[in-house]
Amino acid sequence: MQALILGATGAIGRTVAAELARSTEVERLWLAGRNQARLEWLLDVLSGDPSRISAHAFDLHDGALRDRRFRELSPDLVISCAGPARQLELPCARAAVEVGASWLSSANDHVAAESIPALDAPAVAAGVTVVSGCGLSPGLTNLLVALAAQELDEVEEIEVATTRSARDPAGQAALAQLLIGLSGPAPSIADGRRISEPGPKASHLVYFPEPVGWVETFAGASPEITTLVSRWPGLRLLRWRVGLVEKPAMDALRLLAGGPWATRFANWGPAASRALQQALSAWPSAGPAWSAARVDVRGQADGRPRSVSLGVVDHLVNLTALPLVAAASELAAGRTEPGVRAPERAFEPKSLLARIGRRGVRIARLEPYLV
Ligand SMILES: NC(=O)c1ccc[n+]([C@@H]2O[C@H](COP(=O)([O-])OP(=O)(O)OC[C@H]3O[C@@H](n4cnc5c(N)ncnc54)[C@H](OP(=O)(O)O)[C@@H]3O)[C@@H](O)[C@H]2O)c1
């Protein structure tokens, strides 16, 4: 594979770059970001053969320059870890399809997710695959839902919950995106109808795989509300919730998300994000600094109600980067159909999860809640 990583200097991008630099499946690896000094540091750390790994600094908001770079490099796969993804996902994915490259991203912005299906026809015509959102949530959560659904004859309700410790290292874009996801109404499905829950108000305790345990979660906006509905259109209930392991840090984030400044946070720049990150991580921890996700899928099996609950736990960078790396390998092997595909449609859930599990990410079957 000849892969171009966008946002390679970020927390997720660096991990993906380190994994792909070691992979024998990668013939050529281009690392892209805005900051030349950080790119050079990364090249130095990876210490790869310069004819195989090289760095390219450009701003993805400069459409003409981006398109020129894409044409010059001519990758067969573009992996985007650049974010926040709202303004970047659609134009960059379109530019990738236009040069005949497949697209894979860590995007977790619900507004961007709604725009991506517009690329289906161009992607089919170009014979490439677009998988937008293949990290933890969306990504692993979609695969877990699909795996749980294999045990049911009919899927009626899906609940997705995700959590991270404020002290689990991740990048500034991930924190900005969390705030964006909490700062507006939370789309969900109740009684078979799409509704908007009013932001992160009512809490709901969710049990995540150990060592995370119980965490207070709140309704937020995430792409699963779009992607899972397209796979299971008749759902009676679909909800996405998120919480920080440290309750006081989550309370502070909710306060910030409710203010008029929250949606502008992504444009505040690195200094503000860094300050917020430092403030949140300064809270004494209630537990270990891990991140996790849980899905509860309810429906019918053999004519009876049945509930299947699955979870995943590790550090956020692993939970996000390892699905991208496993997915890149599947795309390179040509095992995916062209077009826009949600992760659970692009890849066989069990084999992709098994591959990620072999890298040490813990995937667990959980006791369903009594409903
Ligand atoms: N699906 C999931 O579960 C999940 C989990 C975690 C994160 N994410 C998403 O993954 C993405 C990366 O998160 P992160 O924690 O790694 O953030 P990060 O450390 O802040 O990294 C962001 C990266 O994007 C690059 N970038 C931003 N705007 C750019 C632009 N206009 N042109 C070129 N490069 C640009 C940055 O380059 P510079 O170095 O030049 O600033 C940096 O390399 C975010 O969208 C985040 O929401 C998803």
Q: Which amino acid is at 294?
A: R
What local confidence, expressed as pLDDT, does residue 10 receive? 97
What is the rounded CA–CA span in Å between residue 241 and residue 298? 17
Domains of the chain: 2-135+318-354 (3.40.50.720), 140-316+362-366 (3.30.360.10)
- The strand pairing partners of 296, in sequence order, are 159, 309
- Distance of CA 22 from the midpoint of ligand 1 (Å): 22
Nearest CA to ligand 1 atom 46: 174
From the CA of 363, how far away is ligand 1's center (Å)?
25
- 317-353: per-residue pLDDT in tens? 999 999 999 999 999 998 899 999 999 999 999 999 9
Q: Ligand 1 center to residue 4 CA distance, Å?
A: 15
**Diameter over CA atoms, the chain:** 61
Alpha-carbon span 57 to 10, nearest angstrom: 13
Nearest to 112 by CA among 94, 136, 98, 97: 94
Token representation of residue 296: 């509860």
Quote the CA–CA distance of 331 and 128 in Å, as a whole number. 9
Ligand 1 neighbour 38 (Cβ under 6 A): yes
Ligand 1 in contact with 201 (CB < 6 A)? no
113 alpha carbon to ligand 1 midpoint, in Å? 16
Query: 83: Cβ below 6 Å to ligand 1?
Result: yes
Point out the ligand 1 atom lying closest to the alpha carbon of residue 178. 47
The residues of the chain scoring below 50 in pLDDT are none
pLDDT of residue 270: 66
Q: Which positions ≥6 away from 74 have C-beta within 8 Å?
A: 2, 99, 100, 101
Give the whole-angstrom CA distance, residue 261 versus residue 257: 8
What are the beta bridge partners of residue 139? 135
Report pLDDT for 256.
86
Per-residue pLDDT at 115: 97
CA–CA separation, 214 and 63 (whole Å): 45
For ligand 1, the distance from its centroid to the CA atom of residue 179, given in whole angstroms, is: 14
Structure tokens, 99? 């040069």
The predicted-structure confidence for 24-80, as pLDDT tens digits, reads as follows 999 999 999 999 999 999 999 998 788 999 999 999 999 999 999 999 999 999 999
- What is the pLDDT, as a whole number, of residue 79? 98
Q: Is 181 close to ligand 1, i.e. is its CB under 6 Å away?
A: no
Q: Give residue for tokens 């969390």.
A: 178
